[in-house]
Amino acid sequence: MTATTCTNVVAFKTAPAAPRRHRGLLAKVLNKLRLWKTRLDGRRELRALDDHMLADIGLTRAEADYEAAKPFWKA
């Protein structure tokens, strides 16, 4: 950012927008972070369910524990 002075007023010129290729990359990174956060939250919620709730959704405790133990970056 550069500053120019015009009779006691400082005006700042903003940097140009990022090129399209950078915006696309940024969008991909943000989407991946959202996916990881969704997985992490879902696995935390799964871990918190009791056996009766797990039975309602057709899972055993062992299956839920296996899924909840996966790292967030693995599907």
* Residue 15, φ and ψ in degrees, nearest 5: -70, 150
33 found inside a domain: no
12 found inside a domain: no
Alpha-carbon distances, residue 20 vs 4, 27, 73 (angstroms): 28, 11, 27
User: 9-68, pLDDT tens digit by residue?
Assistant: 566 676 666 667 788 999 999 999 999 999 999 999 999 999 999 999 999 999 999 999
55 found inside a domain: yes
pLDDT score at 4: 52
62 found inside a domain: yes
* pTM of the predicted protein model: 0.66
Domain total in the chain: 1
Q: Kindly write down the DSSP assignment for every residue of 3-19, as one continuous string.
A: EEEETTEEEEEPPPPPP
3 found inside a domain: no
17 found inside a domain: no
- Identify which of 42, 36, 44, 46 has the alpha carbon closest to the alpha carbon of residue 74: 36
